[in-house]
Amino acid sequence: MRKGRTLKAVIPGGSSAPVLPASIMMECTMDYDSIAKAGSMLGSGAVIVMDDTRCMVDSLLRLSYFYMHESCGQCTPCREGTGWMHRVIERIANGQGRPEDIDLLNSVADNIQGRTICALGDAAAMPVRAMIKHFRDEFIHLIEHKTRKVAATA
């Protein structure tokens, strides 16, 4: 980690792999079984490490933009769902989120996962579900207080 910062979360296998909070990640070894047991996957092996200054809503905003952009539009759940998720996350990130947006995101992700022609649909849905599962408090905080729940940068 950078000096003075603590580990917050790790995405262990590329952008589609479910994020793991530090408390879980530090109990794992970097092998397929351990990461799978913790609820994620090693996937492409592209490891993303985030410290305590990183806003998880902003992280998900970036990921959701990528999947919206990459959707080829061939099947409806992915074509419509990736854009819908991105717009809802953007609304939350801009301080205009509604309490029901969190459940709405989970619902849209549920309706994408397992219902698309290729794996991009699942790849778009999994980060959303995992971010909300592990960092729901940050989404709620931003909706309720219009400010980010992160450590101050030095």
Would you tell me which residues interact with ligand SF4 (CB under 6 A)? 71-75, 78-79, 116-118, 120-121
What phi, psi does 20 have (nearest 5°)?
-125, 130
CB of 17 to ligand SF4, least distance (A): 17
Measured distance between the N- and C-terminal CA atoms of the chain, rounded to whole angstroms: 14
Residue whose C-beta lies closest to ligand SF4: 78
CB of 111 to ligand SF4, least distance (A): 13
Q: In the complex with ligand SF4, which residue's Cβ is closer, 79 or 148?
A: 79
Give min distance, CB of 57 to ligand SF4, in A. Answer: 24
In this structure, the number of other CB atoms found within 10 A of the CB of residue 122 comes to 16
Nearer to ligand SF4, 59 or 116 (CB): 116
Minimum distance between the CB of residue 113 and ligand SF4, rounded to whole angstroms? 10
Nearer to ligand SF4, 15 or 71 (CB): 71
Distances (CA, A) of 134 to 40, 72, 73: 12, 29, 30
Task: Outline where the chain has alpha helix (H).
Answer: 22-25, 32-37, 56-70, 76-93, 101-112, 120-145
